[in-house]
Amino acid sequence: MATISTTDFKNGMTIELSDGLFQIQGFQHVKPGKGGAFVRSTLRNVRTGAVIDRTFRAGEKVESAYIEKREKQYLYRDGDAFAVMDSETFEQMSVPSAAMGDAVNYLTEGSQVVFLMYGDEIIGTDLPASVELSVTETEPGVQGDRVSGARKPATLETGLVVQVPLFVEVDDRIKVDTRSGEYQTRA
């Protein structure tokens, strides 16, 4: 493992501490009037999602974690797990839904997923900014009920429920933002 100094911190970097694997969410170098400089950081545990604040001495060394990105194709859902296939070796594996995180709301059969791997352990997924999904269920928009900005719930093919404008109907394809889970536009 490579060690890095706190002066090399960058947002999104993953480090290994004694109490787990953490991703740097934010950091600030502080030089008080008296005493030594330090680095105040916000870290997210990649396994549990818990966010903690941690203070390091300036120049302190920490272990850098090597995170590999592997592209796999989502094949089908098998109970509480997902069957995926490696795009290069065509090897299939079963991934528990807990390891998939929020990606389960945006994946359709045959779609590509980039997995963040730490050794052989899946620690997360890297989704595109938006995905196109079909509307499977929604109320019809009433003629004349065209209030500006009015919304109604719509169930998508993955089971995700989003608020959409009144003109969206069943079988429409819409774009959904994967970061916020909100409707963007009709596809």
Give the tens place of pLDDT for each residue, 1-39.
Answer: 688 998 889 998 999 998 889 999 999 999 998 888 999
Average per-residue pLDDT in the chain? 87
Which domains does the chain carry? 3-64 (2.30.30.30), 68-126 (2.40.50.140), 130-186 (2.40.50.140)
Give one DSSP letter per residue of 11-80, joined into a string: TT-EEEETTEEEEEEEEEEE--SSS--EEEEEEEETTT--EEEEEEETT-EEEEP--EEEEEEEEEEETT
Across residues 86-99, what is the average pLDDT? 85
Q: What tokens appear for 175 in the block?
A: 């774009």
What b-and-e string marks burial along 42-66, b requiring 16 or more CB atoms within 10 Å of the CB? Answer: bbbbbeeeeeeebebeeeeebeebe
Q: Which pLDDT score is estimated for 118?
A: 87
Q: Is the pLDDT of residue 55 over 90?
A: yes
- Name the pLDDT band for 86 (thresholds 50, 70, 90): confident
